[in-house]
């Protein structure tokens, strides 16, 4: 790995990528860019504020089968790092985890801040440079390097890891397509409903093993 690595996105994937880079290449300059002023925001609210870190599935095939749209590709990824590796990673850093009856794995504190603190502390220990309010405007390939353009100016890196998550519209990935990447059309997966003032909000936080949800007047059903 060359000496300059940019991570785009300050979520769980971005932090894990940055930490992994520094662990494998201690002398690399790793910079994590987050467009907002908040880091790990989705980690903080995941699992009803408890953060379901992973699950207790035994075996890669069983684990991947829960992701029907990407099972084949995920099998390859899980062969490198799976649920057991995730549990070992956090516990080796002092985060005690527990598996609940439905297979979900949470920190024993039942507080997502435990996971947030672990990732932040690891990044600080490894001296990862974190830049907030740094919205990437464009990436330009120049020879073997990448030029990243921000509102405040440009930076050049040898490697770039994009961990920005999904986009509700295909055009949100246009800047990646301009670099030659083929982007699959985005499909809704895990999302929230914004329904203020409705009685259904009393169900927030309730989990059931099997349910069907349909929006009246549409063909949407899950």
The torsion angle over the Cα atoms of residues 219, 168, 80 and 91, rounded to 10 degrees, is -100
Is residue 184 predicted with pLDDT exceeding 90? no
Is residue 3 predicted with pLDDT exceeding 80? yes
pLDDT band at 166 (very low <50, low <70, confident <90, very high): confident
**Mean pLDDT for the chain overall:** 90
Specify the pTM. 0.85
CA distances from 109 to 79, 106, 112, 131, 170 (A): 29, 8, 8, 29, 39
Question: pLDDT digits over 98-125, tens only?
Answer: 999 989 999 999 999 999 999 999 999 9
DSSP three-state, residue 104:
strand
**Mean pLDDT for the stretch of residues 191-196:** 68
pLDDT band at 2 (very low <50, low <70, confident <90, very high): low
Question: pLDDT digits over 11-64, tens only?
Answer: 999 999 999 999 999 999 999 999 999 999 999 999 989 999 999 988 888 888
pLDDT score, position 210: 80
The torsion angle over the Cα atoms of residues 131, 136, 140 and 146, rounded to 10 degrees, is 20
Between CA 40 and CA 9 the distance in angstroms is 9
pLDDT score, position 1: 46
Q: Which residues contact 141 (CB under 8 A, 6 or more apart)?
A: 147, 179
Between CA 31 and CA 145 the distance in angstroms is 15
Between CA 65 and CA 132 the distance in angstroms is 37
The residue ranges of every structural domain in the chain are 4-177
Give strand pairing partners of 221: 214
Q: Which residues contact 124 (CB under 8 A, 6 or more apart)?
A: none
Q: What is the CATH number of domain 4-177?
A: 3.50.50.60
DSSP three-state, residue 12:
helix
Between 56-60, 138-142, 203-207, the lowest mean confidence (pLDDT) is in 203-207
- Other C-beta atoms lying within 10 Å of the C-beta of residue 83: 21
- Sheet bearing 97-99, strands edge to edge: 54-55, 104-107, 97-99
- Other C-beta atoms lying within 10 Å of the C-beta of residue 199: 7
Q: Which residues contact 161 (CB under 8 A, 6 or more apart)?
A: 5, 6, 7, 8, 14, 17, 18, 21
| Cα dihedral across residues 188, 190, 191, 197: positive or negative | positive
pLDDT band at 192 (very low <50, low <70, confident <90, very high): low
Is residue 128 predicted with pLDDT exceeding 80? yes
């Amino acid at each position: 790995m060359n000496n300059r690595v940019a991570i785009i996105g300050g979520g769980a994937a971005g932090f894990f990528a940055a930490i992994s880079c520094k662990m494998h290449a201690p002398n690399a300059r790793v910079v994590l860019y987050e467009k907002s002023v908040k880091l790990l925001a989705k980690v903080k609210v995941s699992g009803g504020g408890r953060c379901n870190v992973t699950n207790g599935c035994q075996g890669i095939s069983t684990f991947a089968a829960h992701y029907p749209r990407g099972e084949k590709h995920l099998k390859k990824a899980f062969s490198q790092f799976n649920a057991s590796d995730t549990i070992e990673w956090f516990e080796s850093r002092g985060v005690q985890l527990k598996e609940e009856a439905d297979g979900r794995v949470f920190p024993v504190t039942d507080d997502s801040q435990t996971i947030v603190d672990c990732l932040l502390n690891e990044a600080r220990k490894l001296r990862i440079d974190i830049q907030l309010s740094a919205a990437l405007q464009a990436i330009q390939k120049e020879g073997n390097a990448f030029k990243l353009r921000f509102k405040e100016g440009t930076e050049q890196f040898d490697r770039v890891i994009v961990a920005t998550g999904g986009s509700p519209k295909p055009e949100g990935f246009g800047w990646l397509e301009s670099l030659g990447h083929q982007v699959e059309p985005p499909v809704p997966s895990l999302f929230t409903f914004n329904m203020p003032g409705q009685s259904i909000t009393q169900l927030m936080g309730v989990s059931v093993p099997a349910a069907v949800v349909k929006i009246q007047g549409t063909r949407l059903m899950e």
